[in-house]
Amino acid sequence: MRQENYDKMTGYIIENQKKFYRLAFSYAQNQEDALDIVQNAVLKALDHYESLKNYDAIKTWFYRILVNESIYFLKKNKKEIASGEELGLEIPYYEQGYEPSDDLYDDINRLDIEIQNIIKLRFFEEMSLKEIAEITGDNLNTVKARLYRGLKMLKQNIQEVNL
């Protein structure tokens, strides 16, 4: 049974690797880091495969690891930039503002991480709000509230994007 779950899990990972990569890339915005994120997520998932009791939950279970790995990467990266500043290095600084640019994809990446996650999973990965709540570990209402807030920041008409 355990072996069967393991086989299914590796099958799931291999099949959906491109999706994982696209999501990781949307956070990292460069190939090497995106590959690292996916690889680390896969290793972590395998290390804990026995904790997945019900295979039907694989999708949200795996995405949760992947999203966490992406957040971990972003935070670590920030820290490195901060320590770079201490050394007096010139690090380009990107204003975390909400001036809409030409491209919504870029705008989404400038949102708060919690909101980014939800928008990406909802509109790019086309997941249900319930699935997203399982992934982020928030309750459904928090997810909804964040989603609306995000869309408002992005100046997206809620009707237009078909929730």
Partner 1 sequence: MNQMDHAKKRYDETPIPEELNGRILGAIEEFEEKKAASSQNNIGIGKRRYYKWGLGTAAAFFLTFTAALNINTAFAEEVHQLPVVGAIARILTVSSYKKTVGDEKVSVEVPGVEFIQNDTQGLSKQINEEIQEICSRYADESLERAQDYKQAFLDTGGTEAEWAEHKIEIKVWYEIKAQSDDYLSFVVRGTESWTSAYSQEKYYNIDLKSGKLLSLGDVLGEDYINKANDSINSQIEEKSKEIGIPFFTPEEGGFESISDETKFYMKDNGNPVIVFDKYEIAPGAAGAVEFEINR
Segment near partner 1 (CB under 8 A), from 52-60, 77-85, 118-126, 137-145?
A: 118-126
42 binds partner 1 (CB under 8 A): yes
Shortest distance, position 105 Cβ to partner 1, whole Å: 4
CB nearer to partner 1: pick between 16 and 142 = 16
> Distance (Å, rounded) from C-alpha 85 to C-alpha 82?
5
SS3 45: helix
Shortest distance, position 88 Cβ to partner 1, whole Å: 26
- Reported for 54-59, long-range contacts at CB under 8 A and 24+ positions apart, including other chains, are 55/5, 55/8, 55/9, 57/134, 58/8, 58/9, 58/12, 59/12, 59/131
| Burial class for 125, CB neighbours closer than 10 Å (0-12, 13-18, 19+) | middle
CB nearer to partner 1: pick between 108 and 133 = 108
Of 12, 21, 74, 145, the one binding partner 1 (CB under 8 A) is: 21
> Distance (Å, rounded) from C-alpha 148 to C-alpha 150?
5
10 binds partner 1 (CB under 8 A): yes
In the complex, the residues that contact partner 1 under the rule CB under 8 A are 3, 6-7, 10-11, 13-14, 17-18, 21-22, 25-26, 31, 35, 38-40, 42-44, 46-47, 103-105, 108, 120, 123-124, 156, 160-161
